[in-house]
Amino acid sequence: MTQAPPTRTATGPRIIAILAGLLLILHQDYWFWTSDILVFGVFPIGLFWHMGISLAAMMVWYLATRIAWPADFESDSVGEGGSFSHANSAEKTDGLSKPGIAEDSF
C-alpha cells in the first residue's frame, strides 16, 4: 500500500487491543439471535450484522498498520536472501542462481 509514514504511538497497540476485544464482544450478537428482520428486504439481520463486523475488522486492522505496526519492523533491515547467520544458512545459498530475474515484488 502506498501511504504516508506510519504514526506509531505508545498507546497504538493498546487502542488496537481494545478495538479487537470490542469486535469479539460485538461478534456475540445474542440480541439478534432469533430476529428475522430483513435489512433492505435482502439480508437477514443476523447475516447483515456480521457483514458489518467484517468491514469493521478491516478498518481496525488498517488502523493497526498505522498506529501499532512494530517500530523495529519499519526499517525492514533484513535484506534480500536474509542475513542467514544460523545453521540453515549454507544450504540455502547453494544452487544454480540465475541472476537478473525480476522479483515478484507487487
Partner 1 sequence: MPSGSIQLMIIVAYLVLLLALGLLSSRLFRGTKLDFQVASHSIGPFLLLMSLFGTTMTAFALVGSTGESYRKGIGVYGLLASSSGIVHSLCFFLVGLRVWKLARRNGYSTQIEFFRDRLDNDFIGLLLFPILVGLVVPYLLIGVISSGGVIQTMTAGLAPGWSMFQTIGPDGVMNPATNGGVPAWLGSLVICVVVLIYVFYGGMRGTTWANTFQTTVFMVLGMVTFYVIANKLGRQESFLENLRVLAEAIPESHATREQMSKSKFLMYLLIPLSVGMFPHVFQHWMTAKNAASFKLPVVFHPLFIMIVWVPCVLVGVWTVAVYMSPDLRPDGPSLPTLPSGVVDANKVLPFLVKTQTGAVLGGFLAAGILAAIMSSLDSQFLCLGTIFNNDFVTHYFGKDRFSDQQQVLMTRIFIVAIVAITYLLSLGNVRSVFAMGVWCFSGFTALFPIVIAAIYWRGLSAAGASCGILAAITSWCYLFYQGTQVPIEQGGLSGYMIRFSLADQPIEIMPVVAMTVCSTVAMLVVSRITPKPSQEVLARFFD
Choose between 7 and 98: whose C-beta lies nearer to partner 1: 98
d(CA 77, CA 73): 8
The yes or no reply on residue 97 touching partner 1 (CB under 8 A) is: yes
- HSE on the CB side for 16, CA within 13 Å? 20
Choose between 1 and 10: whose C-beta lies nearer to partner 1: 1
Q: Give 4's DSSP letter.
A: P
Q: Give 62's DSSP letter.
A: H
Q: How many residues bind partner 1 (CB under 8 A)?
A: 63
The yes or no reply on residue 71 touching partner 1 (CB under 8 A) is: no
Contact string (CB under 8 A) for partner 1, positions 31-70, x = contact? --xxxx-x--xxxx-xx-xxx-xxx-xx-xxx-xx---xx
What is the helix (H) or strand (E) element at residue 84, kind and residue range?
A: none
Cα three-residue angle 20-26-32, rounded to 5 degrees: 165
The yes or no reply on residue 87 touching partner 1 (CB under 8 A) is: yes
d(CA 97, CA 51): 47
Footprint on this chain of partner 1 (rule: CB under 8 A)? 1, 20, 23-24, 27-30, 33-36, 38, 41-44, 46-47, 49-51, 53-55, 57-58, 60-62, 64-65, 69-70, 72-74, 76, 78, 80-98, 101, 103-106
